[in-house]
Amino acid sequence: MRQIIIIVFLIAAIVGLVVISFSIKQVDQEEKRLSIDLQHRSTLLAESLRETVEPNFINKSDEYLQTVVEKFANKERLVGLSIFDNKGKIIAVSSSLSKETLEPQQIVSDAMDGDKANGDFVTLNDSNIYIFAVPLHDKTSVVGALMVAQNAGYIDTRIQEIWRNSLMRLSIQVFLLSIAAILFLRWVIHKPIQNIVESLKSTRIGDKSKQIPNNPFFQPLVREISNINRSLMEARFAVSEEAKLGLDKVNAPWTAERLKEFIKNVLKDQAILVVSNREPYIHTKNGGDISYFFPTSGVVTAIEPVMQACGGTWIAHGSGNADKLVVDNHDRVKVPPHEPKYTLRRVWLSEEEEKGYYYGFSNEGLWPLCHIAHTRPIFRKEDWLEYKSANEKFAKAVLQEIKNIKNPMLLIQDFHLALLPTLIKKQRPDAKIGIFWHVPWPNSESFRICPFRKELLNGILGADLVGFQTQLYCNNFIDTVGGELESLIDLEQFAVTRNGHTSYIKPFPISIAFYNGYLSEPNDKSGELDSNNILKTFDIKTKYIGLGVDRLDYTKGIIERFKAIAFFLNKYPSYKEHFTFIQVSPPSRSKIKRYQDFENDVKTEVEKINAMFQTKGWKPIIFLKKRYTHKEINEFYKIANICLVTSLHDGMNLVSKEFVASRSDEKGVLILSQFAGASRELKDALIINPYNIEQVADAIQLGLEMKESEQTIRMIKMREVVKIHNIYRWSAEFLKTLSSLA
């Protein structure tokens, strides 16, 4: 639409320039013609009257002269006549002439002084008047002058008429040409191109139903695109065949194509539904424009590539202020918006439900309980009731989606939906349900803090498969169930049987998609920053750069990290003015007071350290409290010498894997907390205790001074781990285990 408006504007501008140019020329010619005609008529009138006036002027017959000038008053365009003697005194004048008309006597004086006719246009009382004067003679000398005043206003009227007609013609021409251009662009250009784009999009996503239209107007383009299309299908077929062969190879890398083949051949295209609190795309409205963004969430980062690869339905809470504006009558919308590959079904929660279920029970209760990060969990009865209500709403939406699906497969995500497995299982015992707990599971003693622990465990054990990040968390869960519920625990199979239903407990370390060193959505074109202008944007001139990327959350060890940086600069003063640490921290759960206090604590710590060390043109910490796109975060990763992940307790921490995946240059050093699940896999990182400030400071110094050869050795090993154990492999292993359960 914007392009059509631009084209119509250009047409209007070009036609307007042409019409105005011709109109200016026509106006100029018409004005000259009318002026010359008026001057000619004035000359003829003055010359004819002079023959009558001169003898009587010489004879001083003033009465006769007055009769003559009155005779010609108000005739046609003649305003009037006047006769002057050679001293400029009026001898006779038409009564129709105003005082102002008699004032321009310079024309009369010039006519007498030069002894020749003289005329000019003057404006009097907003009227255009042509004044013409001829000298009067006796036998040898000029004795006076005859002045003729003609109304020249009709010339202005004619000019205005020409402009009015030209503008009217211009408007009609622009309108007709614009309509023609719009129709031409829509039916001859836009529609065929749109059909070609739709056909290419269908081919790209594997839908062969739409063929490229054979449009003669774009015949060469269609022919070439057809060739590209054919090559694309051949390449996809080759990849598909290779993926089929790779299904039986344990060490073959998992890709999106291989996962698709796995779903098709092993799971027989079984419908897959993902259920989570956080949605993968959030639509927002700003003024009249609707846009979307990809939220900062480990769950979304991990699961979204899987859904793009295998399709299905993702059920999640619709939290954006424009989410309701883009869904259909069944609360569904196809995503990603730029290239739909699966369905997003949104669940609506009231403000009260969100406050109790999400901010209250989930994030003030379960989150600190699971992370054991020295923040006291808060459990309120009213929050628990909202948590139950929200889980029931999700269950209702899930049951609607699987109503006509036989043996549906559900992947429930995280601690927000602990009650959902049992709610679904009661209604649909044929459903195969897996729940993955992204955060740590605390030891059994800590979990006893929760007053609703038995209900939570009962809810989780409705799942056929319960997945955790590490074996330690599996052990903790088994211990917790053993201490809280009457059940049969099989430590050999790591299974819990309760009320005749068996749940298998297994570790599945989650990961990310690995796009050959490029961390983002494959089609993500967003983002303003790149590695070339980040330093310029933030005025960074130092040799060494450190990076932290975390939500503003007290479990991420951000303040401990800053204290370690201060210790590092004190212990290794040579790095002052040569090291800058960038902390990227989008706000998180800012409606919760603990998070508000934590944000203030972080800002205070940054200001204190910067005040302590900064010099003119340098400060040690740049704090960016802003949400950046995946592509922009990737650019930050590329410029960092070191990346600090200092989680106080973390199920996995995908930032560590994102940093490794982004470093296709095989440089950079990862400093990783021993309390993050990723430390079990990324053993070539510098593993630290985030509570040991001096150890972290020494790791920073070691990372900055590490030889490039050693950086490369370590990074290659870590990249291989992330590449092989990627999110596609995680999905395949989880789904294969779930589908194999009786």
Domain ranges of the chain: 2-157, 272-507, 534-725
- pLDDT over threshold 90, residue 532: no
Q: What pLDDT score does 240 carry?
A: 58
- What's the token pair of residue 555? 């479990």
- pLDDT over threshold 80, residue 121: yes
335 and 341 Cβ atoms separated by less than 8 Å: yes
The two domains 272-507 and 534-725 share their CATH topology (first three levels equal):
yes
Omega before residue 192 within 30° of 0, cis: no
Q: Give me the torsion for CA of 722, 727, 732, 734, rounded to 10°.
A: 100
**What are the two backbone dihedrals, phi and then psi, of residue 96, each rounded to the nearest 5 degrees?**
-75, -15
Residues comprising the chain, all counted: 742
- What's the token pair of residue 677? 């699940």
**What are the two backbone dihedrals, phi and then psi, of residue 224, each rounded to the nearest 5 degrees?**
-70, -40
Q: Show the CA angle centred on residue 485, arms to residues 479 and 372, nearest 5°.
A: 45
Q: Which CATH class is domain 272-507?
A: alpha beta
Residue type, 644: L
Query: Which of 302, 469, 504, 483 lies closest to 371, judged by CA?
Result: 469
Q: How many alpha carbons fall within 13 Å on the CB side of residue 678?
A: 33
Measuring CA to CA, how many Å separate 191 from each of 9, 117, 212, 350?
21, 71, 12, 42
- pLDDT over threshold 80, residue 530: no
Strands (E), 391-461: 409-413, 432-436
- What's the token pair of residue 141? 């000398």
Query: Residue 525: which pLDDT band, with cuts at 50, 70 and 90?
Result: very low
pLDDT over 70 percentage in the chain = 88
Whether the CA torsion 632, 637, 643, 649 is positive or negative: it is: positive
**Distance between CA 652 and CA 659 in Å, rounded?**
14
Max CA separation in the chain (angstroms): 145
Per-residue pLDDT tens digits for 579-588: 999 999 998 8
712 and 666 Cβ atoms separated by less than 8 Å: yes
Mean pLDDT (whole number) for 199-226: 64
Q: What pLDDT score does 268 carry?
A: 81
- pLDDT over threshold 50, residue 347: yes
Q: Are strands 272-275 and 313-317 parallel, antiparallel or unpaired?
A: parallel
- pLDDT over threshold 80, residue 6: no
Q: Which residues of 292-327 are buried (b: 16+ CB within 10 A; e: fewer)?
A: bebbbbbbbbbbbbbbbbbbbbbbbbbbbebbeebb
Q: What pLDDT score does 80 carry?
A: 82
**Distance between CA 566 and CA 555 in Å, rounded?**
20
What is the dotted CATH code of the domain comprising 2-157? 3.30.450.20
Q: Sheet holding 142-151: strands in order across?
A: 90-93, 78-85, 142-151, 127-137, 118-124
Q: Which residue has the higher pLDDT, 410 or 125?
A: 410
Residue type, 9: F
Mean pLDDT (whole number) for 89-118: 79
**H-run or E-run covering 146:** strand 142-151
- pLDDT over threshold 90, residue 92: no
The DSSP result for 184-214, as a single string, is: IIIIIIIHHHHHHHHHHHHHHTT--SPPPP-
**Distance between CA 342 and CA 724 in Å, rounded?**
25
Query: Residue 212: which pLDDT band, with cuts at 50, 70 and 90?
Result: low
557 and 690 Cβ atoms separated by less than 8 Å: yes
Chain center to CA of 368: 33
**Distance between CA 341 and CA 455 in Å, rounded?**
36
Name the least confident of 63-77, 262-276, 333-347, 623-637: 63-77
The DSSP result for 566-619, as a single string, is: HHHHHH-GGGTTTEEEEEE----STTSHHHHHHHHHHHHHHHHHHHHH-BTTB-
The top-scoring range by mean pLDDT among 132-141, 144-153, 436-445 is 436-445
Count CB neighbours of 46 within 10 A: 21
Q: What pLDDT score does 521 carry?
A: 43
- pLDDT over threshold 60, residue 244: no
Burial tier of 389 (Cβ tally within 10 Å: 0-12, 13-18, 19+): middle
Mean pLDDT (whole number) for 631-643: 93
Query: Residue 518: which pLDDT band, with cuts at 50, 70 and 90?
Result: very low
Query: Which of 509, 510, 425 lies closest to 463, judged by CA?
Result: 425
SS3 assignment for 291-324: EEECCCCHHHHHHHHHHHHHCCEEEEECCCCCHH
**What are the two backbone dihedrals, phi and then psi, of residue 123, each rounded to the nearest 5 degrees?**
-110, 120
Residue type, 225: I
**H-run or E-run covering 344:** strand 342-347
Query: Residue 696: which pLDDT band, with cuts at 50, 70 and 90?
Result: very high
**What are the two backbone dihedrals, phi and then psi, of residue 627, each rounded to the nearest 5 degrees?**
-90, 120
Paired strand residues for 504: 465, 495
Paired strand residues for 688: 673
739 and 266 Cβ atoms separated by less than 8 Å: yes
Paired strand residues for 263: none
- pLDDT over threshold 80, residue 467: yes
- pLDDT over threshold 90, residue 507: yes
Q: Which CATH class is domain 534-725?
A: alpha beta
Q: What pLDDT score does 217 carry?
A: 64
